[in-house]
């Protein structure tokens, strides 16, 4: 049984993230999407809200499980019986950050491997930060996120304006 863990802040989960989950589901017996804390970001959605949203988005993919991890990523690998960490690479600009994380994770836990997949071209410029920025200025972000996420952003914005 080969299990891969796909960590991220997923704030929010985009079509690019979904694209990667689908690719991973073709390659691994089990895909664990792990909503984790990125200490450098201030999120729009709570960890639990993000987990629920991703569960909805991936409901048709039976081999996908969605969890929240709150400590160091490497400390959750054994618990979930994971063989590798999965991260997405969209462009060369992602590479430096991703390489640094992959090497740090392997230093923190020997044998910890990170594999990279690339999304389809039409999702390769999509990012959670851009989606949030478009939403903040009342632009149309709905082409870049799954339906449940678009609805949740709309509700969050409506709530904020009360």
> What are the catalytic residues?
17, 41, 90, 128
Binding map of ligand PNS across residues 116-145, x = CB under 6 A, - = no contact:
------------------------------
Interface with ligand PNS includes 9 (CB under 6 A)? Answer: yes
Distances (CA, A) of 103 to 65, 99, 110: 26, 6, 10
Mark the segment that binds ligand PNS (CB under 6 A) among 44-52, 99-107, 112-120, 131-139: 99-107
Sorted by sequence, the CB contacts under 8 Å of residue 47 that are 6+ apart come out as 35, 37, 68, 70
Distances (CA, A) of 94 to 12, 89, 112: 18, 6, 20
Interface with ligand PNS includes 32 (CB under 6 A)? Answer: no
> Is the Cβ–Cβ distance between 129 and 21 less than 8 Å?
no
Among 105, 112, 131, 152, binds ligand PNS (CB under 6 A): 105
> Interface with ligand PNS by CB under 6 A: which residues?
7-9, 36-38, 41, 72-73, 101, 104-105
């Amino acid at each position: 049984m080969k299990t891969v863990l796909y960590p991220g802040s997923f704030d929010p989960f985009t079509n690019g993230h979904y694209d990667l989950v689908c690719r991973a589901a073709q390659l691994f017996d089990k895909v664990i999407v792990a909503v984790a804390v990125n200490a450098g970001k201030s999120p729009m959605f709570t960890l639990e809200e993000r987990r629920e949203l991703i569960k909805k988005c991936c409901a048709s993919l039976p081999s996908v499980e969605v969890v929240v991890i709150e400590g160091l990523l490497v400390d959750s690998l054994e618990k979930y019986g994971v063989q590798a960490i999965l991260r997405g690479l969209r462009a060369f600009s992602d590479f430096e950050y991703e390489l640094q994380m992959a090497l740090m994770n392997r230093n923190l836990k020997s044998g910890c491997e990170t594999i990279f997949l690339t999304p389809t071209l039409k999702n390769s410029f999509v990012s959670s930060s851009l989606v949030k920025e478009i939403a903040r200025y009342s632009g149309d972000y709905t082409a870049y996120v799954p339906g449940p996420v678009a609805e949740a952003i709309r509700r969050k914005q409506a709530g904020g304006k009360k």
